[in-house]
């Protein structure tokens, strides 16, 4: 139930933001989310961080504070997306059901409220499905698939890897969102936004580089095969 509530908050916020021209701010939320997942891994699952790894978390916090000051208000869309999906990942890591059964139960719990809302939209003349042409109908249908399939893969992976590792892999998604928002949808991206995003990006790059360096140092040295002389 908790997972269903968290993912419904995340989905609703994301869809609302995208349809109201906040694609760039949604990307900020998913940039913050990996570092929030790292922090949850430390606090909840007692995953240990190396000293340098605390710097990216601090940079993410500084970036959010800077954007808050320059915006004049909290970037609530970004924070809602980051916190809801980060907490969702934490809940999925502790949940007893596997990815397929867990996701089926979550969407099942959301089915009746969603169906009731769609019936309400249909009866009030606001319905879009089967009223907007076959192309848009197929696009709405396809949107469900491209939402569920990655989430199913995420649910399958998250129990088997550290939450800190899972978190840092997720920066690919917001990069695509950011590029779409700026290059395709031409959303405004000011100098202040560049500074705030740049601070968060610096944290992500530092975390990735530090992890790569640490893995190389911990890799076992190759040993000569037996029988070679």
158 or 116, which is more confident = 116
| Residue 10: burial class (beta carbons within 10 Å; 0-12, 13-18, 19+) | buried
Average pLDDT of every residue of the chain? 84
The per-residue pLDDT for range 68-101, each reduced to its tens digit, is: 888 778 889 999 999 998 899 889 888 888 777 8
DSSP SS3 for 49: coil
Are 60 and 198 within 8 A, CB to CB? Answer: no
| Size (the chain), residues | 229
Task: Tell me, yes or no, if the pTM score tops 0.75.
Answer: yes
Sequence spans of domains, the chain: 2-97+161-214
What is the reported pLDDT for 168?
63
Q: For residue 200, how far is the Cα from the chain centroid?
A: 15
100 or 188, which is more confident = 188
The predicted model gives 145-157 an average pLDDT of 81
What is the reported pLDDT for 209?
82
């Amino acid at each position: 139930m908790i997972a269903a509530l968290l993912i419904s908050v995340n989905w609703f916020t994301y869809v609302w933001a995208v349809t109201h021209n906040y694609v760039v701010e949604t990307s900020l939320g998913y940039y913050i989310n990996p570092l929030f997942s790292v922090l949850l891994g430390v606090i909840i699952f007692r995953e240990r961080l190396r000293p340098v790894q605390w710097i990216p978390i601090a940079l993410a916090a500084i970036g959010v504070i800077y954007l808050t000051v320059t915006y004049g208000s909290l970037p609530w869309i970004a924070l809602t997306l980051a916190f809801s999906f980060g907490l969702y990942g934490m809940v999925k890591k502790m949940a007893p059901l596997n990815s397929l059964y867990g996701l089926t139960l979550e969407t099942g719990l959301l089915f009746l409220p969603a169906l009731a809302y769609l019936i309400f939209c249909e009866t009030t003349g606001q319905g879009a499905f089967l009223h907007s042409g076959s192309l848009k109908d197929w696009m709405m249908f396809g949107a469900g698939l491209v939402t569920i399939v990655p989430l199913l893969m995420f649910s399958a992976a998250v129990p088997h890897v550290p939450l800190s590792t899972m978190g840092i892999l997720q920066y690919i998604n917001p990069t695509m969102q950011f590029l779409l928002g700026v290059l395709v949808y031409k959303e405004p991206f000011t100098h202040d936004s560049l500074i705030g995003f740049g601070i968060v990006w610096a944290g992500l790059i530092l975390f990735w580089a530090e992890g790569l360096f640490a893995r190389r140092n911990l890799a076992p040295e190759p040993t000569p095969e037996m029988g070679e002389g």
